[in-house]
Amino acid sequence: MTPAASLPTDEALMAELARGSDPALDELMHRWQIPLRSFLYRYTQNEADALDLSQETFVRIYRHRDRYREGAKFSTWLFQIALNQARDHARHRLRRPTDSMDRAPELFSDTHSPAADLLLAERSAAVRTAIADLPEHLRSALVLFEYEEKSHAEIAAIVSATPKAVETRLARARELLRKKLVRWMS
């Protein structure tokens, strides 16, 4: 097995892709499909949409491979494209609303009572709903920071803001969530 140190970086793979090496995209998809889909699921709250948007993000990366700036961090570019896809999708949904039947399955445990499992499921649903109800600019900063573990600087690059603006957005998002979830805080 090849040691991890000898694996090409994401940026090197993008350079290969730009030169016409299609297998480089396969490796990038292998590395990033789960983190990307997780981000998009948290953003859209819909598994099918997250899957579609992650696939479309990789299609866009392939189509626009020549636009990738050498030396730029690949993950920042990836999440910028994905966030733009998710925003466009949300605007489309506002124009053509439908009821979603796709909800994340709740995880139940054999170690908890049914009442505790129900409470956990209700709390999880309340948190998902509260996050989904945040204004888009607050939701994107919160999801990127809390779930994708991006730094303020990385988020700033993804959402085209300053790190200070990201910090302010995160504080505002947490404040709104605290107000909406006061019932669940103990």
Structural domains of the chain, with CATH: 8-95 (1.10.1740.10), 112-186 (1.10.10.10)
Q: Which residues contact 48 (CB under 8 A, 6 or more apart)?
A: 102
Average pLDDT over residues 50-78: 93
Residues 71-80, mean pLDDT to the nearest whole number: 94
Give me the helix-helix angle, 47-63 and 74-95, nearest 10°. Answer: 130
| DSSP helix/strand/coil, 157 | helix
**Average pLDDT score over residue span 137-144:** 93
Q: Which residues lie below 8 Å from residue 27, measured CB to CB, with a gap of 6+? A: 8, 13
As a whole number of angstroms, the distance between CA 128 and CA 44 comes to: 10
The answer, yes or no, to whether residue 118 has pLDDT greater than 90, is no
* Assigned token pair, 39: 């981000």
Per-residue pLDDT tens over the stretch 9-61: 999 999 999 999 999 999 999 999 999 999 999 999 889 999 999 999 999 99
For residue 169, count CB atoms less than 10 angstroms from its CB and return exposed for 0-12, middle for 13-18, buried for 19 or more: buried
What pLDDT does 103 receive?
42
Cα 10 vs. chain centroid, distance in angstroms? 18
User: Residue 36's closest CA among 74, 89, 91, 88?
Assistant: 74
Encode burial over 88-123: b for 16+ CB neighbours within 10 A, e otherwise.
ebeeeeeeeeeeeeeeeeeeeeeeeeeeebeeeeee
For residues 54 and 33, what is the distance between their CA atoms, to the nearest angstrom? 7
* 99 — pLDDT class (breaks 50, 70, 90): very low
Q: pLDDT confidence of 128, banded at 50, 70, 90?
A: confident
For the cut 50, the answer to whether the pLDDT of residue 87 exceeds it is: yes
Residue from 47, 46, 48, 78 nearest 64 by CA: 78
Residue 114 has pLDDT above 80, yes or no: no
| Rounded distance between C-alpha atoms, residue 69 and residue 85, angstroms | 20
Cα angle for residues 18, 86, 31 (degrees, 5° grid): 45
Its pTM stands at 0.68
> What average pLDDT is seen over the chain?
85
Angle between helices 114-132 and 163-180 in degrees, nearest 10: 140
pLDDT at 104 over 50: no
